[in-house]
Amino acid sequence: MALSKLTGTGVAIVTPFRKDGSIDFKSLEKLIDFLVSGGVSYIVALGTTGETPVLSKAEKKAIISSVIEVTNKRIPVVMGIGGNCTSEVLETIKSTSFDGTEAILSVSPYYNKPGQEGIYQHYKLIAEASPVPVIIYNVPGRTGSNITAETCLRLAKETKGNILGVKEASGNMSQIMNIAKEKPAGFLLISGDDALTLPMMAIGGSGVISVIGNAFPADFSRMVKLSLEGRYEEARKIHFRLLPAIDLAFAEGSPSGIKAFLDVMGITPNFVRLPLVCASKELYKKIENFVKNY
């Protein structure tokens, strides 16, 4: 697989639901077509934005099958497979078909808060078991533990190239800069924070796995493309234009905010599964006003 396939703008897609809580596959198809036509580089299915903690195994299988079918090789698909039980993650990999999938995005083990050696061993086994490349996902705000730059670089250098990159959502720019400085050639440094994508690109980042890209795929992809070309003055204009949307999307948590955006835009309906709740009326109104004036 050419590494450049996953350079640029990836979008962590939402899972659309109907009012009764069932999966809305028609809206999922509409969203994918919207993203492809918007010029995104690839799609990430079954990530945090897809509300995977509240999806059954059967639903996850149905979603990834639908995503691969609808995308129809127009752009690559990355599948989220992660967890805090290493043996269970390995079993999931073993029982999963990766036809039509370019890579795995695997979140760092959460809740049980392993140390750095435990995190290293967890990913080492995943890299050995996976038939497709693996992207590490570091998001301490959700997992309760951080993957240090040292551990990330150790994995990048010691897993025979099967760890493709890292989605970095720590918000720690000092840590991110150390990864950028020391990473092997070809190792992807991917922003996991929409608001930090531009500064991460400036220090050598390869792109983003975005939430706000669900609603603004063309503009966000354009900003990332300009950054990759070193055209930062033009990229900054788009960055600052989208910054209020990013703030609104995360004001009451994700994916509640981005689902409100997609509902206002008529792409997917505004339903989430408990324990998440929909955006408040006040936030929805602000999102409506932003979209109207954008």
pLDDT tens by residue, 81-119: 999 999 999 999 999 999 999 999 999 999 999 999 999
* pLDDT score at 190: 98
Contact (Cβ atoms closer than 8 angstroms) between residue 252 and residue 260:
no
Six-digit token pair at 226? 């300009």
The Cα 181–Cα 203 span in angstroms is 8
Task: Sort strands 42-45 and 207-210 into parallel, antiparallel or unpaired.
Answer: unpaired
Find the catalytic residue in 120, 123, 167, 284. 167
Closest CA to 130 of 76, 87, 94, 82: 94
**Mean pLDDT confidence for 267-281:** 98
* pLDDT score at 193: 98
DSSP 128: H
Our measurement of the distance from residue 101's CA atom to the centroid of its chain's CA atoms, rounded to an integer in Å, reads 15
* pLDDT score at 292: 98
Find the catalytic residue in 137, 259, 284, 286. 137
* pLDDT score at 118: 98
Mean of all residue pLDDT scores within the chain: 97
The count of other CB atoms within 10 Å of the CB of residue 95 is: 9
Has 167 been annotated as catalytic? yes
**Mean pLDDT confidence for 128-146:** 97
Residue 6 confidence class, pLDDT cut points 50, 70, 90 = very high
**Mean pLDDT confidence for 173-189:** 97
* pLDDT score at 196: 98
Size of the chain, expressed as the number of residues it contains: 294
* pLDDT score at 160: 80
pTM of the model: 0.97
**Mean pLDDT confidence for 228-239:** 98
Residue 2: pLDDT over 90: no
**Mean pLDDT confidence for 200-209:** 97
**Mean pLDDT confidence for 166-177:** 98
Residue 168: pLDDT over 90: yes
Q: Strand ranges (DSSP E) for 121-211?
A: 134-138, 163-168, 188-191, 207-210
**Mean pLDDT confidence for 33-46:** 98
* pLDDT score at 3: 44
Q: Is 66 exposed, middle or buried (0-12, 13-18, 19+ CB in 10 A)?
A: middle
Residue 4 confidence class, pLDDT cut points 50, 70, 90 = low
Has 137 been annotated as catalytic? yes
Residue 60: pLDDT over 90: yes
**Mean pLDDT confidence for 20-42:** 98
Contact (Cβ atoms closer than 8 angstroms) between residue 35 and residue 213:
yes
* pLDDT score at 45: 98
Superfamily for domain range 8-231? Aldolase class I (3.20.20.70)
* pLDDT score at 161: 79
Residue 1: pLDDT over 70: no
Buried b (16+ CB within 10 A) or exposed e, 21-54: eebbbebbbbbbebbbebbbbbbbbbbbbbbbee
